[in-house]
Amino acid sequence: MLALYRFASRWPLALLHAVGAALGWLTWAASPTYRRRMALHARLAGYAPADIRPAVAHAGRMAAETPRLWFGAPVPVQWRGREHIDAAYAAGRGIVFMTPHLGCFEITAQAAGAHYHATHGPITVLYRPSRQAALSEVVETARRRDGLETAPTT
């Protein structure tokens, strides 16, 4: 599994997105549980059933770009509000970043670790260990980067 993720991390983002969109629809078609959950969450968020169609492909795209985020070159980041982080560090306070899962979470952790670890030490990222043994090694390996430490939520 790890070799597959490393291989996919070298693919162009457009190809990952195309494959991911197809996988999103394949998952939608093959899994009644996935369809029910997505419909429920959309309804709870106030969306009409027709509004979730784009989300099916986007969920697949998000999953397919994960190898690139985990094993590819760091993603360029534009910081907004960095002065608040700097002020908290200058005041000797710690910082808790609250981010969405996958995507933003990965990018934020990598960028903050790379930027601040030399002066303030690494940041620690909490994660829930994978229930699938094959993914455990992938997740643990992927998040080992300079300036980043991980802690399972067990």
pTM over 0.85: no
How does residue 116 score in pLDDT terms, banded at 50, 70 and 90? very high
The answer to whether 108 touches 97, Cβ cutoff 8 Å, is yes
Whole-angstrom Cα distance, residue 64 to residue 60?
6
Question: What is the rounded average pLDDT of the residues 9-36?
Answer: 95
CA distance 55 to 42: 9
The mean pLDDT of the chain is: 89
- Provide the pLDDT confidence category of residue 49 given band limits of 50, 70 and 90: confident
Over residues 73-101, mean pLDDT? 87
Per-residue pLDDT, averaged over 85-90, amounts to 93
Find the Cα–Cα–Cα–Cα dihedral 46, 50, 54, 55, rounded to 10°: 40
SS3 state at 19: helix
Q: Which amino acid is at 143?
A: R
Predicted local distance difference test score (pLDDT) of residue 101: 67
- At residue 38, does pLDDT exceed 70? yes
Cβ-Cβ contacts under 8 Å for 140 (sequence gap 6 or more): 150
